[in-house]
Amino acid sequence: MLNINNLHVKLEEEEKQILKGVNLDVPAGQVHAIMGPNGSGKSTLSYVLSGRDGYEVTDGSATLEGEDLLEMEPEERASAGLFLAFQYPVEIPGVGNMTFLRTATNAQRKARGEEELSAADFLKQIREKAKSLKIDADMLKRPVNVGFSGGEKKRNEILQMAMLEPKMCILDETDSGLDVDAMKLVAEGVNALRSEGRSFLVITHYQRLLDHIKPDVVHIMADGKIVKTGGPELALEVENNGYADLLSEVA
Amino acid sequence: MALPQSKVDETTARIEGLTLPDGAVWANAARTSALGRLQEMGLPGRRDEYWRFTRPEGLNAVEAAPAAILKSDEPPMFDGIDRLKIVFRDGEFDAEASDELALEGLEIERLVDATSTDIHWAKEIFGALEARGQTPVARPFAALNTAFASEGIVIRATKKVSKPISLIYLHESEVSDAMLHFVIRVETGADLTVLENGPAAARFNKCMEVEIADGGAFHHVRAQGRDHERQAVTHIFAKLGAESVFKSFTLTVNGRLTRNEAVIEMTGDDGVAHIAGAALGDGDFHHDDTVFVTHDALNGESRQVFKKVLRNGAVGAFQGKILVKEGAQKTDGYQISQSLLLDEDAQFLAKPELEIYADDVACSHGSTSGAIDDGALFYLRARGIPKGIAQDLLTLSFLAEAIDEIEDEAIAADILGRLEGWLSRRRDG
Ligand SMILES: Nc1ncnc2c1ncn2[C@@H]1O[C@H](COP(=O)(O)OP(=O)(O)OP(=O)(O)O)[C@@H](O)[C@H]1O
Ligand SMILES: [Mg+2]
């Protein structure tokens, strides 16, 4: 599904290398987790994959189902099936959550040559999905993320993911700021979407999320590289011992 | 204070070819006195305090500069709204195209007819509100209008009027130079909506005097056409009684020069005055909102909400004042003027002013100028919304606070449709 090969990225504005040769393959149907110290480049990786400005790829490649992601506009990547649940979802005053989601859903369908969802079908779907994430009608009507609590913002990200039905979902610290119940809701939302044709890359600092969303593979990222890859037990090791031992081991 | 000779000359030249309309004694007196005011203050110059942002030359010129006529592919404005239509072609009343001037709860007639009638209610307002509005800031084009405009409509609403009065200004001659004058009185308990739309002429000077009695309500929505080269100077003078409501919204897209002045005076307690505008300009566009709100009564609420979207050399200006007179306690005054600059060539000039002589008031004002937010744009695009559409969504969201000032949903939807049309015609990708 997602293949990242020797990806090197620096900041556009400064001579600062952030990703220093990332190699990562996420096969279809699998859930991979990335853990790693603050500042190691996890969010940068997710931004570069989704096409945010400000970064320059100096070497390497990233493909989604064989298609070169790095050549595409952000909206093309989304229509191709890439989704990023933001670490910090953006507030957009004046744009209603519903309008936003319907515009996005239909823009993606149009880009893929599919028929647009009718207003009625859209409403029906969104109501069902919002309900299972305990997002009330009022939140749907409000401007995108404006005045939402931290946890509400994260649930709103998952609602968008559920509506857009992407193939490759990147979740950047979706668990941070969530209370125990919200974490379960979010995990259920993710698990409900797990399928053979869909993959997940879950960025997290905590083992706890991975209790709910069982990963197939866990990667450790440090200083712009994947330094270790293993099974779910790797996450437990991080939880119990921190990164120091792990990193000295690979150094 | 003697007027500089250049102003005297310019003013003399401007009025030389014009003739004062002849009518009833009271109307002739009002016009003569307006002419006197004009000669005393002279036409505006660049050094006048409220003309620093806007060049008056095109309005001062003896001849109107020609303006091409835009062939619109959109349905007429307010098309779906049941309304009483009054049509002006290049400033000339078109009886044929207009509905019959009659509606329950209304006295409505042409200005020419009203100003030829010896005893008429309009006498108390015609030229009088304009004259009041000349201090402390001179508004020469309004005086010019009172003196020389022969056409227009006078409207007196005595109850809640069942449908809006829709003033339609067609622009058909490339060299037309039109003046229209409106006198409106909303009686106690009455409720009137006036719609205006269209470019009106190559050069248009409009003056509207609105007196709202205690407990009356006046709603006003206008759209100033889409013609690119037209020039317009407009004034609204409103005087509000106790517990009265005044709400005005203006949409301006295109136009080489627009100067919209509003002078609103709250003379009775518990009045509400909201004035809002959305202006979108691309290229040869200069748009100026000059607003003066005076609180001279208790517990008044005023709101000024002005938003401008500018690109490609377009210029926006805002001069807005809230004056709270001594004793106007519990005044709640709000003013916001913002511009969204879609590129580096656009320019926004703002002069917000507060002048407060009462101690128990809540007044706030803010003015900002900025570009589309990159973070928000990326967020929308990351959800699959193409860049152009995402920019337009963010632009509409920027304008939302002004659009929200339109109370009637159908009218607001019409305005929103025009905004979307304007944006989509310029969408890149
Ligand atoms: N636009 C930017 N300008 C300056 N520095 C940046 C920028 N983007 C990223 N960086 C730097 O790159 C490094 C990696 O940041 P990134 O946000 O990817 O880390 P992270 O692994 O997601 O960390 P966290 O766990 O704290 O979320 C950090 O040192 C960060 O300060
Ligand atoms: Mg991060």
Q: Is B118 exposed, middle or buried (0-12, 13-18, 19+ CB in 10 A)?
A: exposed
Q: What are phi and psi of A47, to 5 degrees?
A: -70, -40
Q: Report yes or no: B61 at the A interface, CB cutoff 8 Å.
A: no
What was the pLDDT predicted at A207?
83
Q: Report yes or no: A97 at the B interface, CB cutoff 8 Å.
A: no
Give yes or no for residue B413 having a pLDDT over 70.
yes
Tokens encoding A58: 């100096």
What was the pLDDT predicted at B175?
96
Summary mean pLDDT of chain B: 96
Ligand 1, CB within 6 Å, residue ranges: A 11, 18, 36, 38-44, 54, 87
Measured in residues, chain B has a length of 429
CA A250/CA A219 separation, integer angstroms: 13
Cα dihedral B48, B365, B134, B277 sign = positive
Question: If you measure from the C-alpha of residue A172 to the centroid of ligand 1, how many angstroms do you get, rounded to a whole number?
Answer: 13
What was the pLDDT predicted at A151?
84
Residue A6: pLDDT band (50, 70, 90) is very high
Instruction: For B373-386, give one letter per residue: b (16+ CB within 10 A) or e.
Output: beebbbbbbbbbbb
Q: Which bound ligand lies closest to the C-alpha atom of A38? A: 1
Strand spans (E) along B271-312: 272-282, 286-295, 301-311
CA B391/CA B161 separation, integer angstroms: 40
Q: Among B159, B158, B167, which residue's Cα sits nearest to residue B110?
A: B167
Give A-chain residues touching B413 at CB under 8 angstroms.
Answer: none
Give yes or no for residue B197 having a pLDDT over 60.
yes
What was the pLDDT predicted at A251?
59
Give yes or no for residue A238 having a pLDDT over 70.
yes
What was the pLDDT predicted at B302?
98
Helix ranges, chain A (H): 42-50, 74-79, 97-111, 119-132, 137-141, 150-164, 180-193, 207-212, 233-241, 244-250
Does the ipTM surpass 0.90? Answer: yes
Q: What are phi and psi of A160, to 5 degrees?
A: -60, -40
Q: Are B300 and B270 in contact (CB under 8 A)?
A: yes
> Which of A41-55, A204-218, B369-383, B399-413 shows the lowest per-residue confidence on average (mean pLDDT)?
A204-218
Give yes or no for residue B429 having a pLDDT over 60.
no
Q: What is the pLDDT of residues B54-92, one digit of tens each?
A: 999 999 999 999 999 999 888 999 999 999 999 999 999
Residue A210: pLDDT band (50, 70, 90) is confident
SS3 of A74, please? helix
In chain B, what is the greatest distance between 2 CA atoms, to the nearest angstrom?
Answer: 69
Q: What is the pLDDT of residues A86-102, one digit of tens each?
A: 999 999 988 889 989 99
Give yes or no for residue B358 having a pLDDT over 90.
yes
Question: If you measure from the C-alpha of residue B394 to the centroid of ligand 2, how many angstroms do you get, rounded to a whole number?
Answer: 26
Work out whether strand A143-144 and strand A67-68 pair parallel, antiparallel, or are unpaired: unpaired
User: If you average pLDDT over residues B238-251, what whole number do you get?
Assistant: 98
User: If you average pLDDT over residues A25-30, what whole number do you get?
Assistant: 95
Tokens 């909303």 locate to: B186
Q: Are A21 and A8 in contact (CB under 8 A)?
A: yes
CA B234/CA B429 separation, integer angstroms: 37
Q: What is the pLDDT of residues A141-170, one digit of tens each?
A: 889 999 888 888 988 999 999 999 999 999
SS3 of B8, please? helix
Question: If you measure from the C-alpha of residue B120 to the centroid of ligand 2, how many angstroms do you get, rounded to a whole number?
Answer: 74
Question: Could A103 and B378 be called an inter-chain contact, meaning their C-beta atoms sit closer than 8 Å?
Answer: no
Task: Pick the more confident residue, A206 or B415.
Answer: B415
What was the pLDDT predicted at B427?
86
Side-chain-side CA neighbours of A185 within 13 Å: the count stands at 20
Work out whether strand B152-157 and strand A199-203 pair parallel, antiparallel, or are unpaired: unpaired
Tokens 């001579």 locate to: A15
Q: pTM value? A: 0.92
CA B290/CA A98 separation, integer angstroms: 37
CA distances from A157 to A144, A190, B190, B375 (A): 10, 11, 49, 16
Q: A113 Cβ partners below 8 Å, 6+ apart?
A: none
Q: Whose CA is nearest to atom 6 of ligand 1?
A: A11
Q: Report yes or no: A44 at the B interface, CB cutoff 8 Å.
A: no
CA A9/CA A59 separation, integer angstroms: 7
CA B252/CA B226 separation, integer angstroms: 8
User: If you average pLDDT over residues B92-110, what whole number do you get?
Assistant: 97
CA distances from B61 to A12, A192, B14, B57, B289 (A): 52, 71, 7, 6, 21
CA B91/CA B106 separation, integer angstroms: 23
CA A187/CA A203 separation, integer angstroms: 13
Residue B1: pLDDT band (50, 70, 90) is low
What was the pLDDT predicted at A250?
66
Tokens 């320019």 locate to: B347
Q: What is the pLDDT of residues A116-131, one digit of tens each?
A: 989 899 999 999 888 8
In chain A, residues 154-173 whose CB comes closer than 8 Å to chain B:
160, 164
Question: Could A78 and B396 be called an inter-chain contact, meaning their C-beta atoms sit closer than 8 Å?
Answer: no
What was the pLDDT predicted at B281?
97
Q: Report yes or no: A103 at the B interface, CB cutoff 8 Å.
A: yes
